[in-house]
A and B are shown apart, each in its own frame.
Chain A
Amino acid sequence: MLADALLLQLGYNATLVTIGAALLGIASGVAGTFLFLRKRALVSDAISHATLPGVGLAFIFMVVMGGEGRSLFGLLLGAGVSAAFGLLCVQWLADRTRLGEDAAIGAVLSVFFGFGIVILTVIQTMNAGRQAGLEGFLLGSTAGMLRSDAILLAVSAALVLALVVILRRPLGLAAFDPGYAEATGWSLPRVDLAMMGIVLVVTVVGLKVVGLILIVALLIVPPVTARFWTERADHVVIIAGVVGGVSGYVGAASSATAPALPTGPIVVLVGFAIFLFSLLFSPRRGVLASLLTHLRYQRRVHVRQGLLALAQGQPIYEVLTRRLLERAGLVLPDGVPTPAGQAAASKALLDETRWAIVRGDQAYALAATRYDGLTPIEDVLTPDQLTEVDGKIDAPQVVA
């Protein structure tokens, strides 16, 4: 069943929804990257919660006008309008009052959501409300969608993606280097407005798929995940798009296998699994990589200190140091250095002596900043400079 779903064998509607969710995931991953880099990730939380009253009011409006109230387009339009109003409120509170943006976000999301709940309870008492199914907007449900809804979803997801691709340059500039963006003639407030507009559209389109409580994850998790894999700006955007696309695709496909499986949580959990994997295993910033780097560093320090002790004829008591030296074949089990150990020890002592001279000489001030007790001095100075330094080493004096 799951394999069928992943291979798009569950019928036309499910296929459309799955493709739509994948496109939406890509778009939100890319848009979320700009949001994340501008350090405004949680603004999307306010936007998504602010859609609820719009959905409810649009439903009531359509029923009052004599319709059935279930037109997805109408509901999403309402969601967009109230989300835009919520966004304006966040901006206004953060700009014009003493509240910080975090407080403005929290206030708007809770108040709008609360008001939305009030509207939902009003709808429940209306006759048409019994089968409204507006709860599907809370957690997302794609099972049993109408064909027209599926088409609307896929098309609008494709449109958002196209919009993001067209606007990627100003958005990227504003995210990575706001000063440069302004200097080259982009108006920062306008670029921010465009970014918020895209986030808003992603949120509204994603309502039916992921649900308004969790859509924020689709905007935050992919960029955070992508950041683990690269230091390059353009790569972050691409990887975030891929992570978002995979989450949307797998999430929507697997939730199509059972009616009781809400789409939103699965999409989020797929994304979170990718995030967790990246956090642990990414080659540079991952936890495992940091741990290995730390251990390697620790061992180098132990070996170096052990060698210096050998060179000066001091006994080594530290257990880890002895074990490391023994394993490298530098000392014998009784603590006597092997020929290789003696050579390495003299080299370490020479290195340290040269460093001491370099650090005591103003002429080498720049090179001296590279001293960390481990870097071989040959990496820092040229052979000519080394000869010069060696000339300053005092020859061993015979004690009279």
Chain B
Amino acid sequence: MGAEFVALSLPPILIGVLVAVACALPGNFLLLRRQALIGDAISHVVLPGIVVAFLVTGLIATGPMLLGAAAAAVIAVIAIEAVRRLGRIEAGAAMGVIFTAMFAGGVLLLEQSDTSSVHLDVEHALYGNLESLIWLDATGWASLLDPAALAGLPVELPRMVLALVVIALFLWLFWRPLALSTFDEGFSRGLGIRTAPLGLALVIMSAIAAVAAFDAVGSIIVIAMFICPPAAARMMTNRLGHQVAWSVLFAALAAVLGYVLAGYGPLWIGANASVSAAGMIATVSGIILGVAAVAGPHRTRNS
């Protein structure tokens, strides 16, 4: 546990935890509002956003790609709402129509354009590459205090910190109206809370989490973290505050445990390669949910 750990494992673990927590926080409210699949839809449409941003600017740069992804997420949310209202179609089906079409468009654009020279492909978009986010400048724990070495940290780390701060700040500021409108929309509207913009703001926060996390870890872990930790936390308590706390704990646990299992697990059973960390983190979060669903104190509807 020395220099090698700080350089190779610490940054990915930290990023994994940040991603997991940033997604799990808004996920709690999405879950309670029966909008859990919004996270699914958002993480699918991020791909076309990034591809279009790349085709327009011609470079793999963080700024335009994040903008493209965020724009795609907003367009998707608006399109889903438009299809639902204009066509009078149930929300789930409207979502299914829009996100599959946008994802298909993204894949087709990607295959048709010349992106062979850059690392932009569907597999990367789906399960990212957490393992590659290493910190080459680190020489040991002392590097954490060395400004020169800190400058060499993977750029995803500060970006995720920023996203997490924004999301946490949003939840802290709007906690009461959010909680009220989640549990009793009619009552909160009676109190004068504007529930529609608030709901949209929550979706935008989720999009920020998904977009910031996407580049580092891929879509699949984003969907898993939106749903599994809050769902497991829901089985543990009946209080919103406690549920959010549990979900943060579960998310962090899944990230750390998943990364360690993916990196070192195969070594323990004698294999000499590692498996996908993103996939393993999603798997661990599923196991946590499974345990909570079988043994959680508040797992049934009337407990």
What's the minimum C-beta distance from B232 to chain A, rounded to whole angstroms?
A: 9
Docked pose: A221 CA to B102 CA in angstroms: 13
Interchain CB contact (< 8 A) of A118 among B89, B235, B262? B262
B245-281 near A? 1/0 per residue, CB < 8 Å:
0000000000000000010001000010111101111
What's the minimum C-beta distance from A142 to chain B, rounded to whole angstroms?
A: 14
B87-121 near A? 1/0 per residue, CB < 8 Å:
11110111111001101110110011000000000
Q: Are B104 and A268 in contact (CB under 8 A)?
A: yes
Query: Which interface residue of B40, B83, B285, B298 has the most chain A CB atoms within 10 A?
Result: B40
Which stretch, B9-17, B158-166, B219-227, touches the partner chain A?
Answer: B219-227
Interface size class of A (residues with CB under 8 A): 35 or more
Once A96-B300, A103-B36 are accepted as A-B contacts, the answer to whether A268 and B262 lie under 8 Å apart by CB is no
Residues of B within 8 A of A348 (CB): none
Q: Are A98 and B96 in contact (CB under 8 A)?
A: no
When C-beta atoms are compared, the residue in chain A nearest to B299 turns out to be A97
- Interface residue B198 (Cβ < 8 Å from any Cβ of A): no
Query: Which interface residue of B86, B96, B100, B234 has the most chain A CB atoms within 10 A?
Result: B100
Q: Are B96 and A41 in contact (CB under 8 A)?
A: yes
Once A118-B262, A260-B111 are accepted as A-B contacts, the answer to whether A228 and B282 lie under 8 Å apart by CB is no
Query: Which interface residue of B88, B96, B285, B301 has the most chain A CB atoms within 10 A?
Result: B96
Docked pose: A224 CA to B92 CA in angstroms: 11
Once A96-B300, A114-B281 are accepted as A-B contacts, the answer to whether A217 and B97 lie under 8 Å apart by CB is yes
Once A93-B293, A268-B100, A269-B101 are accepted as A-B contacts, the answer to whether A39 and B90 lie under 8 Å apart by CB is yes
What's the minimum C-beta distance from B135 to chain A, rounded to whole angstroms?
A: 23
- Interface residue A338 (Cβ < 8 Å from any Cβ of B): no
Q: Are A221 and B97 in contact (CB under 8 A)?
A: yes
- Interface residue A337 (Cβ < 8 Å from any Cβ of B): no
Residues of B within 8 A of A113 (CB): 220, 279, 282
Which secondary structure dominates chain A's binding surface? helix
Once A113-B282, A115-B279 are accepted as A-B contacts, the answer to whether A106 and B39 lie under 8 Å apart by CB is yes
When C-beta atoms are compared, the residue in chain B nearest to A89 turns out to be B290
Q: Are B285 and A111 in contact (CB under 8 A)?
A: yes
When C-beta atoms are compared, the residue in chain A nearest to B222 turns out to be A110
Q: Are A214 and B90 in contact (CB under 8 A)?
A: no
Interchain CB contact (< 8 A) of A107 among B228, B262, B303? B228
Q: Are A117 and B100 in contact (CB under 8 A)?
A: no
Q: Are A285 and B87 in contact (CB under 8 A)?
A: yes
Once A45-B40, A98-B298, A103-B36 are accepted as A-B contacts, the answer to whether A265 and B108 lie under 8 Å apart by CB is yes
Q: Are B108 and A262 in contact (CB under 8 A)?
A: yes
Q: Are A107 and B227 in contact (CB under 8 A)?
A: yes
Q: Are B279 and A121 in contact (CB under 8 A)?
A: yes
What's the minimum C-beta distance from A114 to chain B, rounded to whole angstroms?
A: 3
Interchain CB contact (< 8 A) of A272 among B97, B123, B303? B97
Residues of B within 8 A of A105 (CB): 36-37
Q: Are A214 and B234 in contact (CB under 8 A)?
A: no
A80-105 near B? 1/0 per residue, CB < 8 Å:
00000000000001001111101101
Q: Are A114 and B282 in contact (CB under 8 A)?
A: yes
Q: Are B97 and A220 in contact (CB under 8 A)?
A: yes
Q: Are A97 and B223 in contact (CB under 8 A)?
A: no
Docked pose: A262 CA to B101 CA in angstroms: 14
Docked pose: A121 CA to B88 CA in angstroms: 43
Interchain CB contact (< 8 A) of B83 among A125, A265, A279? A279
Q: Are B89 and A224 in contact (CB under 8 A)?
A: yes
B positions within 8 Å CB-CB of A: 31, 34-37, 39-40, 44, 83, 86-90, 92-97, 100-101, 103-105, 107-108, 111-112, 122-123, 126-127, 220-221, 223-224, 226-228, 231, 234-235, 262, 266, 271, 273-276, 278-283, 285-286, 289, 293, 298-301, 303
The 8 A-B pairs with the shortest beta carbon distances in the complex, nearest first, are A114-B282, A111-B286, A117-B279, A217-B100, A110-B224, A265-B104, A268-B104, A220-B96
A positions within 8 Å CB-CB of B: 36, 39-42, 45, 93, 96-100, 102-103, 105-107, 109-118, 120-122, 125, 135, 138-139, 213-214, 216-217, 220-221, 223-224, 227-228, 260-262, 264-266, 268-269, 272, 275, 279, 285, 287, 290
Q: What are 15 pairs between A and B in contact, CB < 8 Å?
A: A42-B95, A45-B37, A97-B293, A98-B298, A98-B299, A111-B224, A111-B285, A113-B220, A115-B279, A139-B107, A214-B103, A221-B96, A224-B93, A224-B94, A272-B97
Q: A99-B293, A268-B100 are in contact. List 9 more A-B contacts (CB 8 A).
A: A36-B93, A98-B299, A103-B227, A111-B228, A114-B279, A135-B123, A228-B87, A262-B111, A285-B87
